[in-house]
Amino acid sequence: MAPTLGFFPVVTLVVLSGFPAAVSSRRDVLELGDADFDYLATEHETMLVKFYAPWCGHCKKLAPEFEKAASRLKGSVQLAKVDCTTNSETCSRFGVSGYPTLRIFRYGKDSAPYDGPRTAEGIYETMRRQTGPDSMHLKTKDDLKAFVNNHDASIVGVFSGTDSPRLAEFLKAATLLREQFRFAHSTNLQLAEEHGANSECVLLFRPPRLANAFEDSIVIFRDYLTIGSLRRFIRDHIYGLCPHMTIENRDRLRVRDLLTAYYDLDYHHNIPGSNYWRNRVMKVASKYVRRGLTFSIANKKDFLLELEEDFGMGTSDGGELPFITIRTRLGHKYTMREEFTRDGASLQRFLEDYFAGRLKRYIKSEPIPEKNSGAVKVVVAESFDQVVNDPDKNVLIQFFSPLCPHCKKLEPVYGELAETLRSDPKIIIAKMNALANDVPLGYDVQGFPTIYFAPVGRKDEPVRYQGTRELKDFLRFLKREASHHLVLSGFKDEL
């Protein structure tokens, strides 16, 4: 008897151009919710979860970077996301109070907050280090050689045995710091002997690509080992005299006054060429190691936008020669306008002028307005001290972006506020374009509009306005914070 066709399923496959790739990209990031979070999260050894809201601007900016990182990490680390507008129970359980919030989970258990970079490359590098053990166990010299032959620095603890209390402390430190650094350990003391140590110690191996004649490639830690002392040792020695600054590590380097030489470098394909200019910077830098200034090099292409916006440098400035800048921890900026010479003489002159206080700070600023007769005073970076830091004036300053719809919506209310207080000689209502001007230290501007009040007698402690953007609420705030009784024009309602 011939088989009946009805017993066999008929499958029709329809392929739409471009559709499979889009589905694959989306599936790289797992979507979790209240109903399945615990069930799905426990399936993964290591998982990075993004808690977000669809309307959040920072979440939208992060989304493509998160997707790219997920694609690169596929098969090793799972990336996932939770929409907190529809899954409030899960977000509340993990204490999510702002967006986006990123946390690392291990087999479904909340392990640690993610504090790394939020670029695709940064997420990839950070989470790649989250796979495997906190510290690699090395048994032989070949193991050690293979481990330290890496693009990044390596921290290796060498101990007398598995019961060593120093080993236990080292492993605790590795657990806490594994996101930032590479750790390994050994109970074979012979591994340390050829590096000049004959007892328990920690060896810090700087990246082989950055080896140079001006400093040791290996630094030995022999002090009493605690998590804190090891952290300080790594912080003080990991980068050496002139590290390679990247988008991912720039914030850690910029906690100190920092000189950076920007040029075309590529440590993946051209190590000798990348070190050509670095060696010339280091030759000069070695003369200033105890003067409070640190040094670095960076790939010019990675920082083009920053160089243009923060230092006013054109993309063609200098050609193949390095751009030299100084950025202090207080936010002061300086640029070397003289051409970089191969003998380092121009760099040395620049440093002598810097330490002697002869350099003029670079400030990104619009021109000071010739006419400023409006009720809302226009402030630029060059006039900020004169206007906002006037010791006799209480100043409300709005940092805005010309492209921001919220700023445009605020304009009539802000203007009405200024008109209401126009007859008060002790108060100024002002605004500054934060995209075209440097924002001074002490003012944290991450979004627009951001509003601060700089009161008389407390100019170094500006107060952030966090109320609603209505006239009555602005006036209540100013009445509470101002150093004098407000003089109002035409405002009759009770405050």
DSSP state of 266: B
Beta strands in 188-318 (DSSP E): 201-205, 218-221, 244-245, 258-263, 294-299
Residue 151 CA to residue 262 CA, distance in Å, equals: 20
3-state helix, strand, coil in the chain (%, to 5): 35, 20, 50
Cα-based distances in Å from 350 to 78, 110, 295, 344: 48, 50, 14, 10
For residue 59, indicate whether it is catalytic.
Answer: yes
Residue 256 CA to residue 244 CA, distance in Å, equals: 15
Place of tokens 């440098």: 313
For residue 354, give every residue at least 6 positions away whose Cβ sits within 8 Å of its Cβ, in sequence order, or none.
293, 326, 334
Residue 207 CA to residue 246 CA, distance in Å, equals: 14
- Catalytic one among 59, 91, 201, 242? 59
DSSP-assigned states of every residue in 299-310: EGGGGHHHHHHH
For residue 407, indicate whether it is catalytic.
Answer: yes
Report which of 99, 37, 96 is spatially closest to residue 62, judged by C-alpha positions.
99
Residue 418 CA to residue 427 CA, distance in Å, equals: 9
Report which of 361, 328, 334 is spatially closest to residue 255, judged by C-alpha positions.
328
Burial class for 106, CB neighbours closer than 10 Å (0-12, 13-18, 19+):
middle
Token pair recorded at residue 339: 């051409």
For residue 84, indicate whether it is catalytic.
Answer: no
Asked if residue 425 has a cis previous peptide bond (ω within 30° of 0), the answer is: no
Residue 131 CA to residue 72 CA, distance in Å, equals: 14
302-316: b (≥16 Cβ within 10 Å) or e: bbeebbeebbebeee
Report which of 464, 455, 453, 451 is spatially closest to residue 392, judged by C-alpha positions.
455
- Catalytic one among 84, 91, 242, 407? 407
Residue 439 CA to residue 433 CA, distance in Å, equals: 9
Residue 154 CA to residue 280 CA, distance in Å, equals: 25
Residues in the chain: 495
Neighbour tally for 384: CB within 10 Å: 22
Residue 221, classed as helix, strand or coil, is strand
Residue 326 CA to residue 328 CA, distance in Å, equals: 6
For residue 91, indicate whether it is catalytic.
Answer: no
Residues that are catalytic = 56, 59, 404, 407
